[in-house]
Structure 1
Amino acid sequence: MARYVFITGGVVSSLGKGIASAALGALLQARGYRVRLRKLDPYLNVDPGTMSPTQHGEVFVTDDGAETDLDLGHYERFTGRSAVQADNITTGRLYKNILDKERRGDYLGATVQVIPHVTNEIKEFVLDGNEDYDFVLCEIGGTVGDIEAMPFMEAIRQLANDLPRGNAVYVHLTLMPFIAAAGELKTKPTQHSVKELQALGIAPDVLLVRADREIPEEERRKLSLFCNVRPSAVIQALDVASIYDVPMAYHREGLDDEVLAAFGIDPAPKPRLGPWEDLAERIRKPEGEVTIAIVGKYTGLKDAYKSLTEALYHGGLANHTRVRIDWIESEVFEKEDPAYWLEKVHGILVPGGFGERGSEGKIHAAQFARERKVPYFGICFGMQMAVVEAARNLAKIEKASSTEFGPTEEPVVGLMTEWLRGNMLEKRSSSGDLGGTMRLGAYTARLEEGSRIAGIYEKLEISERHRHRYEVNVGYKERLEESGLVFAGMSPDGVLPETIEYADHPWFVGVQFHPELKSRPLEPHPLFSSFVAAALEQSRLV
């Protein structure tokens, strides 16, 4: 039977519960256990799909088409296990499920209440489908004391009694701030956070304490005494150079040992941490360095491109190279010459996005990369804008544009309404809900033999994750190919262009999908490895 670890956070948000959960999952995996990670989000949105990236950060997409919290990306990157729709739930989805049941009469006329109906729905979600796992790690979003998180806290409190004795452990992540004026680390915020948790009926078994410096033994003993936690279970979580140093750092502090001890597993299987040790060594000793310009529209919040930056980092690790990122707001190129910003970079990446703002700047970035022979990687919207650039400047379709920006005489990019997914016909409507008009999740693409991208993948059929509404219009394919643009990847039915490239360019690739979503530190995505390698070659020329 699966054992359950519930990870909560206190004091302030953004302490890194997602990284902590992912790192603990990786450590348990290293001991030979089968691990599943799940995220419980308190906000009322059904999913983050319609939320602004500047508010919520990246929307992570799974193979089965779920739009989820970005922490699921961390779970995948650290454990290598692909997440699914059932690994993330929000208050909005919970209430939607409950109200649907109420309308159907499933509650037989009962008054629907937070307890037991909402808490039961949460518990059913947590317990469902875990037969094949040894440990299920559940991260509860937000901070202890948040009003919207109360049903989740009550549900995980109840679960400790519902499950067999000793099958639930609570890990609480807190902050221990350093007060410069006093010259001291302060334990009081953690004490208050734990008291708040205890008032909800939850007693943490392990305290994971974030700090920017070593926590003295005296302060640890104090936390142990006032928070009712064993001294060995007060684990310091110090800042590290890279998030991929976290598993080894937490292991050295004894996090996985304490969690297993809380379950009564003694002696615990010895961990095999060789891959993480090798990774840490590679991070510490890069052999080269490149600068990649990310020309985007949400550059004010780096979390909007979390998987992207991590995938670039993985590409650097594959090439023993440090990747430095130059963040550039694409609107700048609508007023200034891109050369000023891009002449000294070794690669240009134009990521996904929605809406017209900044689109012309992305088109100028693609033109600069094509004309100056700088490695270019266009992802989703970045591919579409590269196609518009080729249409305008090579195929001489002066009014080429996207219907995403409004009616146009030359819809080089438009809203596709029908296509095949396997043997099934999928349909979309421009009048549907925003999420309903998306092409979401894993789709197959067939690559042209002898193309650059087929050489990178070393295969002719691939499966990648999508998240977009608009597609390159296949009706323009012939005219664009006559001008030199190569459509090297297509959907199996030949209706949807999936990849583009130029045969006479050192490295110019556009993809309609999001390869960054499947990149992992121990398994870098081949496109990012190849792109960084091309940037490294470019660095020798600049």
Structure 2
Amino acid sequence: MTRSAAARGDRARLALVGDRSDRQAAHGRLDALIPHLDVQVDWVPSTSVTAEIADYDGIWVIPGSPYADKEAVLLAIRLARETGIPYLGTCGGFQHALMEYGQSVLGFADADDVQYDPDASTPFIVPLECSLAGEQASLYLAENSGLAAIYDNVESTTETYHCKYGLNPDYVDTFMHSQLRICAWDSEKAPRAVELPDHPFFVGTLYQPELSSTPGNVHPLIKAFLAAVALRAQTVAAEY
């Protein structure tokens, strides 16, 4: 992986980090979307992630948790967060963004997902009270958040989910007082999205915008993410 493509003015490069599976509805939907996106997309299995993932102009950690290599996924998220690479995490990408921030910034070295370790000493990610597999649900956006701006500052919307795990309620208050801010909730005030306001683009959502996208009607969150990826590529190319 090199920066030569961006330097030559070629298309921006996006890494889809996760383990491709026909059992994941999101992966099939992404297959249909990719040919219609103005970006070079590479599927990167979790077992293939190295520090060179930082050569991409954008990183999207896609659904499919638990991943074959959890630590590699956390590395990709940390590099995106620390180096300003646009990041989108949906479902598992949301869960692992919480874990990475908890470990690296908040001091919870053992922050984990019970899908990896049912007896985790610091269970950040636990089963939802009500499964959201294949469900649509209301989403309430934080006022003045970056996510709300993407939705033209509406108060609420409806999103599609396919997930059974989320943030442990015991740690919600921890994130309410951190820089990785909770920026959307469900009707029961359970966190459904987070963002880093001072980052070029860093958003994690429990819902899956890819599931409600078609080639002719791409979800606004994905559009905003791809715009940030393109800007990153242009900025890097200008440095050469």
Task: Give me the TM-score of the superposition, normalised by structure 1.
Answer: 0.40
Q: Which sits farther off after the overlay, 343-352 or 370-379? A: 343-352
Give 3-state SS (helix, strand or coil) of 1:520's partner.
coil
Give 3-state SS (helix, strand or coil) of 2:72's partner.
helix
Looking at structure 1, the residues matched to 25 and 67 of structure 2 have their Cα atoms a distance apart, in angstroms, of 21
Q: 2:29–2:211: 8 Å Cα contact kept in structure 1?
A: yes
Of 366, 370, 374, the match for 2:81: 370
Looking at structure 1, the residues matched to 151 and 19 of structure 2 have their Cα atoms a distance apart, in angstroms, of 29
1:387 aligns with 2:82: no
Question: How far did 1:519 drift?
Answer: 1.1
Of 220, 223, 228, the match for 1:534: 228
1:498 aligns with 2:214: no
Query: Which residue of the partner structure matches residue 460 of structure 1?
Result: 155
Matches within 5 A, 1:290-305: 290-298=12-20, 305=27
Cα deviations by residue, 1:274-300 (Å, 9 ceiling, x for unpaired) = xxxxxxxxxxxxx97211001111279
1:403 aligns with 2:104: no
Cα deviations by residue, 1:338-373 (Å, 9 ceiling, x for unpaired) = 332x23211001000133522222111111100010
Q: Which has the higher contact order (CA 8 A, sep 6+)?
A: 2
Query: Which residue of the partner structure matches residue 306 of structure 1?
Result: 28
Q: Could you list the runs of 4 or more consecutive aligned residues of structure 1 that deviate by over 4 angstroms after TM superposition? A: 299-304
Question: How far did 1:438 drift?
Answer: 5.0
Cα deviations by residue, 1:284-340 (Å, 9 ceiling, x for unpaired) = xxx9721100111127999971212434555x3xxxxx221122111233xxxx332
Q: 1:487–1:501: 8 Å Cα contact kept in structure 2?
A: yes
Larger radius of gyration: 1
Query: Which residue of the partner structure matches residue 478 of structure 1?
Result: 173
Q: 1:468 to 1:490 in 2, by over 3 A?
A: same
Amino acid at match of 2:13: T
Matches within 5 A, 1:43-122: none
Identity %: 27
Q: 1:446 to 1:313 in 2, by over 3 A?
A: farther
- In structure 1, stretches of 5+ residues that fail to align are 1-286, 317-321, 418-426, 428-436
Question: How far did 1:416 drift?
Answer: 2.4
Amino acid at match of 2:123: P
Looking at structure 2, the residues matched to 313 and 476 of structure 1 have their Cα atoms a distance apart, in angstroms, of 39
Give 3-state SS (helix, strand or coil) of 1:343's partner.
helix
Cα deviations by residue, 1:477-514 (Å, 9 ceiling, x for unpaired) = 222343311100011211x2111100110000111011
- In structure 2, stretches of 5+ residues that fail to align are 1-8
Question: How far did 1:526 drift?
Answer: 0.4
Matches within 5 A, 1:438-457: 438-457=132-151
Matches within 5 A, 1:322-337: 322-333=38-49
Q: 1:516 to 1:373 in 2, by over 3 A?
A: same
Q: 1:416 to 1:300 in 2, by over 3 A?
A: closer
Q: 1:291 to 1:308 in 2, by over 3 A?
A: same
Amino acid at match of 1:492: S
Amino acid at match of 2:143: E
Query: Which residue of the partner structure matches residue 507 of structure 1?
Result: 201
Matches within 5 A, 1:169-318: 289-298=11-20, 305-314=27-36, 316=37
Looking at structure 2, the residues matched to 523 and 484 of structure 1 have their Cα atoms a distance apart, in angstroms, of 32
Looking at structure 2, the residues matched to 303 and 465 of structure 1 have their Cα atoms a distance apart, in angstroms, of 12
RMSD across aligned positions (CA):
2.3
Q: 1:302 to 1:328 in 2, by over 3 A?
A: farther
Give 3-state SS (helix, strand or coil) of 2:161's partner.
strand
**Alignment coverage as a number of residue pairs:** 226
Q: 1:396 to 1:462 in 2, by over 3 A?
A: same
Give 3-state SS (helix, strand or coil) of 2:12's partner.
strand
Looking at structure 2, the residues matched to 365 and 482 of structure 1 have their Cα atoms a distance apart, in angstroms, of 24
